[in-house]
Amino acid sequence: MQKDFVMAFDPATLSYDVNGLIPAIAQAHDTGEVLMMAWMTAGAVARTLETGRVTYWSRSRQSFWVKGETSGHVQELVEMRIDCDRDCLLLLVRQVGPACHTNRRSCFYTAIRDGDEAEIMAPVEG
Amino acid sequence: MQKDFVMAFDPATLSYDVNGLIPAIAQAHDTGEVLMMAWMTAGAVARTLETGRVTYWSRSRQSFWVKGETSGHVQELVEMRIDCDRDCLLLLVRQVGPACHTNRRSCFYTAIRDGDEAEIMAPVEG
């Protein structure tokens, strides 16, 4: 008889803001590239750990947002890390396709160079 | 006559939350390690770009927080990047000493492994 997976970790032990949200940074587990930052509720943290599929909370739609559910650009969770203040998460992920809705690998695609903002990453082809 | 440095980039073009804050992720420019996440005001963004010394906004003290000012564990800005929604910053930094006030290299020093939270990084010696 297979034992059910027991989650000893309780997402309620994290610190959420007044809206019940915690910021979550997604980082490519292999290259170390920072891909995006989005928000999670305690429920989203639990779902992400249970399913292994990164699930944020959409503040605009006020609902769970399984990353890549429509685009196919999912994030498989490799490891969830917690910071010293317990008010921020770092998600090491296996990113399928580009992370950004603009079709770029990362959402951080402009940089301040010589005092001006410059695009440093083009959308992925196709 | 030396020309003054002209900053074409305007921090007011970023999106701040209701408290006038934007989250900023600090990443080691060489190893790619994510070190910490803290908050900036438009003024903190400007100071960081002007001085090259990462300056956050302390929400508890309600004042500028020049990272490492007391500990010496400063962050020299290598590059500031902006995400697609303009509501999150990624700072590539040269971190002097440990980034975390617990004396660890990174603030993200626990991880969920086998359903439980485990410490994955020890404080730096000395």
Q: Confidence class of residue B6 from pLDDT cuts 50, 70 and 90? A: confident
In chain A, which residues have pLDDT < 70? 1-5, 126
Rounded to two decimals, the ipTM of the complex is 0.95
Cα dihedral angle (B91, A103, A23, A118), rounded to 10 degrees?
Answer: 20
**Whether A31 and B32 lie within 8 Å, measured CB to CB:** yes
pLDDT at A4: 59
Q: Is B110 helix (H, G, I), strand (E, B) or coil?
A: strand
Residue of A7, A32, A100 lying closest to B115 (CB–CB) = A7
Which contiguous run of DSSP H or E holds residue A95? strand A89-95
Report the pLDDT value the prediction gives residue A126, as an integer from 0 to 100.
64
Tell me the whole-structure pTM to 2 decimals: 0.95
What region, left, alpha or beta, does residue B114 occupy, with left being phi > 0 and alpha being psi -120 to 50 degrees?
A: left
Give the distance from residue A33's alpha carbon to the nearest chain B alpha carbon, in angstroms. 7
